[in-house]
């Protein structure tokens, strides 16, 4: 409990906070991670093999169908108390920036106003040709394991692709620059549910540590970020983040 108390004190005193989240916080809401084996009719596929520009070029119906199915799965889950606690931190510390590696919209639905999506979002599809944005949820809702032809761009008739960053693609330049700048300038960086293995995103907590800022890690298991974290809180985000918020700003 000493680490929780110390983390709460640092958070309560901070004027600039970065909350950096990974797959773990969404997994607690029931969102499968890329490291989970695919189940049901998708089990014959490798998630990482589907998440590439080449896979979309080779079989756009398969890739679009899988990503649309993933989007419908996310539509059916709810933000957990960890997501709500992040929004509460934003309410207490006006200069809080949420930086997430997740492609879902659970932070938004949990009350966060403008999370920075380092790896894009399932809810911001765009044209594979001209890169213009397209409406989310276009086309029929797919059944699990079914191909679904991607809709066509209203401007150039090119295929619409998921608005996520695939393996082999660069992170969005503006999002990455924002994340690095905020990590450079923050007082506290709270890293939640990330493995610390996916680069270059995993560098963000290290940037904060390099500049001497307090890094608080919330994760059920040890990660490579243990060595740069000022404080390590072991446990699920849905439990520890509400406890951290309550300790930082007790309700009288």
Distance CA 82, CA 197 (A): 22
Q: Is 107 a catalytic residue?
A: no
The active-site residue, picked from 83, 107, 117, 119, is 119
Choose among 243, 250, 247, 252: nearest CA to 5: 247
Instruction: Count CB neighbours of 239 within 10 A.
Output: 17
Q: 212 with 190: CB under 8 angstroms? A: no
Q: Is 70 exposed, middle or buried (0-12, 13-18, 19+ CB in 10 A)?
A: buried
* Active-site annotation, residues: 119
């Amino acid at each position: 409990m000493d680490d929780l108390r110390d983390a709460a004190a640092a958070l309560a005193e901070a004027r600039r906070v970065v909350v950096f989240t990974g797959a773990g916080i969404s997994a607690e809401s029931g969102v499968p991670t890329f490291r989970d084996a695919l189940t049901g009719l998708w089990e014959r596929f490798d998630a990482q093999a589907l998440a590439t520009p080449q896979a979309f070029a080779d079989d756009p119906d398969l890739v679009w169908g899988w990503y649309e199915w993933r989007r419908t799965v996310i539509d059916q889950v709810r933000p957990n108390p960890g997501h709500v606690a992040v929004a509460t931190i934003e309410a207490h510390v006006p200069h809080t920036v949420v930086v997430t590696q997740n492609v879902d919209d659970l932070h938004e639905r949990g009350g966060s106003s403008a999370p920075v999506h380092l790896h894009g979002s399932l809810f911001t599809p765009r044209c594979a040709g001209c890169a213009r944005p397209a409406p989310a949820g276009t086309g029929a809702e797919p059944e699990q394991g079914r191909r679904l032809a991607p809709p066509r761009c209203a401007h150039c008739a090119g295929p619409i692709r998921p608005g996520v960053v695939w393996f082999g693609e660069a992170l969005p330049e503006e999002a990455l620059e924002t994340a690095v700048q905020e990590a450079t300038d923050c007082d506290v960086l709270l890293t939640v549910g990330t493995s610390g293995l996916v680069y270059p995103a995993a560098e963000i907590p290290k940037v904060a540590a390099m500049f001497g800022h307090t890094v608080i890690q919330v994760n059920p298991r040890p990660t490579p970020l243990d060595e740069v974290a000022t404080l390590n809180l072991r446990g699920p985000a849905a439990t520890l983040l509400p406890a951290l918020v309550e300790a930082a700003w007790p309700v009288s």
